[in-house]
Structure 1
Amino acid sequence: MEVEKMILNYTSQQNELRKRISLQNNFSEDQIKLVAGVDIAYWGENNKEYGVCCIQVFDFCSKKLVEQVDYMDEITTPYISGFLAFRELPLILEAVKKLKTNPNLYMFDGNGYLHKRNMGIATHASFYLEKPTIGVAKTYYKIENTDFIMPENRTGAFTDIVIEGEVYGRALRSRRDVKPIFVSCGNEIDLDTATKITMHFIEKDSRLPIPTRYADLATHQARKLHQDDV
């Protein structure tokens, strides 16, 4: 019953935020100087669950790392499919407080608008960060039993993921001969710009954009370090 109440509460909150989503740029591209990648890793210890959020900030032009922070804490919110943001937001917001730089845009290892209520972590977090956001997921989770169409095997090829007549995101072939990644708007950005920025950060040795790729790698390192602290 407690979980059912949480689902009703979480659904209500997401539906209210959903009304405020903007799929248009609230910036000009020359304003993007710093881009942050965000990811979270979890582990269990002594019958408790912990999580660590890593944020890696990159210079947009040089693609060089300029700052990295992490924040670890115990996780007390249970995992409920479709409501991941309620578990992850507390860690993310505490990690953001540790930043000395001020990123212009955040990229998340996860979905944004590509979510059954259009409220993946990238979109949900945007209302607290008050910055444009992009979701970049490594795997696709079906929405309304809709699968994606595989894009052509060439760099930059994509197919739109259309659900009930609306574009929710894109399957993007970031490099030849690799599996596609799944790009969606978070908030305050359009899908073409989200795709363009994602491709800007693709390098030859990975199908993932630099900010989320390095945030993902950082979570593995941070998890090992923090496991010794609990």
Structure 2
Amino acid sequence: MAIKIEPTGKALGAMVSGIDLSEDISLEDQEVIFSGWIEHMVLVFRNQTLQFDDLLRLRHVFGPAGKTANQLLGLGRKAYYPDEVPDDITIISNITDADGHPKGSLGNGEAFWHTDSSFTEEPISASLLHAVEVSDQGGQTSFLNMYMAYETLPEELRKVVDGSYSNHSKSHSSDGTPRPAYGEITDVSKAPGVRHPLVRLHPVTRKKCLFLGRRLNSFI
């Protein structure tokens, strides 16, 4: 069966069928998946049963493997991660253990809008999310089309953001939890992180898009 990519008809995203990601993926199919991702920005593969090795293999379809936030920050492995979880995989969950401790790296609350690992000089280009247990209500993960966000800005505002930069602070995780290593931030202009342009040029499409990244302690 050939891979089929069906756009959602919304601002971004497409549904992908006709492939089992637990099996080896041919070079031809890898090219189809990569091209679909570039065009639609978010791809959804339904009804996939994947193991850790499958996820680690699949990531190479989208480019060289990056590092998790914990690895980038030198925070080490979470002590409560099961032994079978590879270091290159991050657990995100709203489930707590018997003592009330969250089982995931981002606590058991809601994560803020963010771009993964934007606090680094060279942010990652993609993230793979594999849903293991899905709630029958709530819990949606949302995505934004940042090409469209830029293109629909009023002309005067586009002139302001073109050429502007913002600081992407690493002082908090994506759920707003302070990272103790960076202490209390009293002056956001001195928050640890890196500076990125507010408007980036996509390396493949060569289209302009907004790059907002981190939220807390950011400034322009």
Q: TM-score, normalised by structure 2?
A: 0.23
Q: TM-score, normalised by structure 1?
A: 0.23
The structure with the greater share of residues assigned to helix is 1
Larger radius of gyration between Structure 1 and Structure 2: 2
The structure with the greater share of residues assigned to strand is 1
